[in-house]
Homo-oligomer: A and B are copies of this chain.
Amino acid sequence: MATRKIDREQIIEQALKTLATSNSFADFSLRKVAADLHIDVSTLYWHFKNKQEILQAMAEAVITQVTIPATDLEWTTQLKQLFSNVFDIYEQYPLSATLMIETIPSALVRLQLIERAIAIMTDVGIDEQTANVAVTSIDFLLTGVMIDLTTEAHFRQKITAEKNQNLLTHVKKIHELAQSHHLTHMQTSIKMRNQFSAKQQFAMGLDLIIEGLKQHLPTKN
C-alpha cells in the first residue's frame, strides 16, 4: 500500500545525506543508502546502472549549486569569488571534494564552471595556456585543501571515537620528529595549520597563483 515509488532524485538526495554522515569516502556504501531509504540495495540497480553512475549524479547535484559571479567585477575578484563559491558548496556537502576526484567531470555545469574560470583570465589578455594551467592548479589546490580537511576530521574522529590509538601515535610522531630533528619550519607549519581555517589557507594559495598570473597580463599599450 501507499505509493512505494522512489525516483532518481530521491536516491541522490539521500545518497548525499548518507555521504555527509560518513566518516570517510570508503565508509559510504550503497547498502547504507538503501537502508536509509528503507528499500533493498538491489532496487538502486533498477534506477542506476551501477555505483559509478550514482556518484556521477551526486557530483552533478553538488556542482549545480555553485553560482557564477557577475562579469562586471574586476577579474581577480571574479576568480576569487567563483572559487570561494565552490569552496562553500564543497564545505556544505561533506566529502563532496572526494566525489569530484572519483568522478569524470562530464556534467555540463562542471564544464561551464571551468569554461567561465578560463574566460575570466583570457578576457584580460592572459594566454589560453596559462589560464588553463591556472585553473588546474587552483582546482587541485581547492580539492587538496578540502580533502585534507575531511581526512583530518576522519582521523580525529577515528582517534577519539574508536580505540584507534595507533593513528594518534602517527600524529604525535609528527610533533616529536619535528622537535627532535629540529625541523623548525615544520613546527611553524603545524602552528599555521591551527591558526588559519582551510578557507583562509586556500585563499592564500589562490592569491599566490593570482600574483603569478599578473605577470602574464599584457603590458599596457
- Please judge, given known A-B contacts A112-B183, A137-B137, A181-B112, whether A166 and B210 are in contact too, CB under 8 Å: no
Kindly state whether residue A106 has any CB partner on chain B within 8 Å.
Answer: yes
Asked if A105 is an interface residue, CB under 8 A from chain B, the answer is: yes
Could you tell me if A151 and B111 are in contact, using CB atoms closer than 8 angstroms? no
Contact call A133/B208, Cβ cutoff below 8 A: yes
How many angstroms from the CA of A186 to the CA of B117 in the assembled complex? 10
- Of the four ranges (under 10, 10 to 19, 20 to 34, 35 or more), the interface on chain A belongs to 35 or more
A211: interface (CB < 8 Å): yes
Q: Tell me the complex Cα distance, A137–B201, Å.
A: 9
Measuring CB to CB, which residues of chain A are less than 8 angstroms from any residue of chain B?
49-50, 52-53, 56, 101, 104-106, 108, 111-112, 114-115, 118-119, 122, 128-137, 139-141, 143-145, 147, 151, 155, 166-167, 170-171, 173-174, 177-178, 181, 183-186, 188-189, 192, 201, 204-205, 207-213, 215-216
